[in-house]
Amino acid sequence: MNKGKKRLFILLGMATVLLYCLVFAVIWLIMTSESAFWRHVILIGLMAAFVVLMLQMVLGLSCLIFGLLRGVESPALQKLGRNIVELFYPMVMRIGQLFGISKEEIEDSYIKINNQITVSSGQKYQPEEILVLAPHCLQRADCPYKITMDVHNCHRCGRCSVDGLLCIAEETGVHFVVASGGTFARKFAQEYQPKAIVAIACERDLTSGIKDMHMQHIPVVGVLNERPNGPCHNTTVQLCKVRQAINYFMKE
Ligand code: SF4
């Protein structure tokens, strides 16, 4: 996995911690400017909350960095790292944009970090517990077959990645569906009740999908689609990356 891209999220996470420290220092200065009793009470409460928050953030960041450098497999590290990433996400997004970093780059970094955390849990599943979820834009725009209803309606002409994904699903035994949007992706997740998902999509859809599934405690490895014809039109995916993502989850 690309370490450079993962580091972006971690660096922005560190900037978030620094910003929180700065805000706290300013509040501290204001609160200590007078000596009324209630100010001291608020100050102590504020300090306790700040210390807990900072400890959580620094510990979570350290786990992420440790896991990133060493490739450690640990469900406990995975849980802590996951919570900290979700806690950081809104602020990281704002700070990144302040530095002129595009939303897409930050989402890409978030997806890479998510994948690292998911893989580091080391949890394995049976093929039938894994769902590969692909976007409708992978299908050739001029293909007449309705594969969102049933992906086996594909006539396997080989003009788009759907054919290759069907081959992978047949070889590995995982479920494979094509969804025409977030609502349908959620519907498929409900229908198949997977224990793990390999999701293929753009940065925006993967980010929201990962967050959605995180709420349902379903681990997701995200694979970015490629868009040689612009967004949402005749997109493709590197099949080797999809197979690699399935292998992360599969029992030997
Ligand atoms: S492989 Fe061919 S038949 Fe199948 S979805 Fe793609 S274009 Fe349609």
CATH of the domain at 237: 3.40.50
Domain end point (choices 64, 97, 120)? 120
* Residue 2 pLDDT > 90: no
List the domain range (segments joined by +) for residue 182: 127-249
Residue 132 sits in the same domain as residue 187: yes
pLDDT tens string 142-196: 999 999 989 999 999 999 999 999 999 999 999 999 999 888 999 999 999 999 9
* Ligand 1 contact via 151 beta carbon (within 6 Å): no
* Residue 3 pLDDT > 60: no
* Number of domains into which the chain is organized: 2
Torsion angle, CA of 151/156/160/166, rounded to 10 degrees?
50
Domain end point (choices 102, 120, 138)? 120
Residue 71 sits in the same domain as residue 164: no
Report pTM.
0.82
Counting from 1 in the atom list of ligand 1, the atom nearest the Cα of 142 is 7
Residue 58 or 157, more confident: 157
CA distance 179 to 177: 6
- pLDDT of amino acid 77: 67
Residue 145 sits in the same domain as residue 225: yes
Counting from 1 in the atom list of ligand 1, the atom nearest the Cα of 144 is 8
- pLDDT of amino acid 42: 75
Q: Over the chain, what is the mean pLDDT?
A: 87
Which are the contacts of 159, defined by CB distance < 8 A and separation ≥ 6?
Answer: 140, 143
- pLDDT of amino acid 172: 97
* Ligand 1 contact via 143 beta carbon (within 6 Å): yes
Residue 152 sits in the same domain as residue 236: yes
Residue 132 sits in the same domain as residue 210: yes
CA of 147 to the centre of ligand 1 (A): 8
The dihedral sign for the CA sequence 238, 239, 242, 248: negative
CA of 239 to the centre of ligand 1 (A): 15
Residue 78 sits in the same domain as residue 152: no
Quick check: helix, strand or coil at residue 228?
Answer: coil
